[in-house]
Amino acid sequence: MMSIAAARALSSGQRCFVGIGLPSTAANLARRTHAPDLVLVYESGTLGSKPGRLPASIGDGILAETADAVISVPEVFNYWLQPGRIDVGFLGAAQLDRFGNINTTVIGADYEHPKVRLPGAGGAPEIAASCREVYVVVRQSKRSFVDRVDFVTSFGHGRGKGDREKLGLRGAGPTLVITDLGVFRPAPDTSELVLTEVHEGVTVEQVREATGWDLKVSPELSATPPPTETELATLRELKAA
């Protein structure tokens, strides 16, 4: 459901910066269904890749073999990402707070002696700063959905509306968060994440129980449409290839 909901948010013609895992699954599903002209950009320097299966990593040869062009990694960041030429960037998170800030660095208040040291930033801070929009895909629990992240690896909306503009960040930041329970969007007046959709079979109370802050619910809350047969068949083909 997470992959399908994320795929539905993408449109043909968009330039999408894709990470391995659920983001790659979602982007390739979208390209094979309703968005055939979606342009997939991978951090390794492949532009317009059209893999016939899900790549194992950003260095998977199938990305270069099926790309419109292969460029250097610095060029991906300096020419495509930083000037704002990427429409959508996908990110994951170990922790995500109510304003869409992401932590993939450390769990615990003491940076030098954390409870858990995570893989770190990679290109995520640049993606969060410069893509026109950012979509976050993360499994939801009180450990991952926290009131305030222990460390800001990738800047979302800071402590509220206007913080991105104060820092001169080009992109709009996280505009969509998709979890295994529902879909969240930032409120226009505060930039705080608000529940806008619940997946089939999930209740608002279940979502609240998996959230580490006093979650606000949209008055126009809707149910995520269930997967279609075409979406499921295409997704299974991708995973089986």
User: Would you please indicate which residues are annotated as catalytic (active-site) residues?
Assistant: 43
Three-class SS state of 73: helix
Are the C-beta atoms of residues 117 and 106 closer than 8 Å to each other? yes
Rounded to the nearest 5 degrees, what angle is found at the Cα of 76, between the Cα atoms of 71 and 82? Answer: 155
Q: Enter the tokens of residue 54.
A: 């899900």
Give phi and psi for 73, each to the nearest 5. Answer: -60, -45
Q: How far apart are CA 118 and CA 139, in angstroms?
A: 16
Where do we find the tokens 């659920």?
22
Residue 154 DSSP label: B
CA torsion, points 113, 114, 117, 120, in degrees to nearest 10?
A: -90
Return the structure tokens found at 218.
């949209």
Contact 158, 164 (CB under 8 A): yes
- Name the region of 160 (left: φ>0; alpha: ψ -120 to 50; beta: rest): left
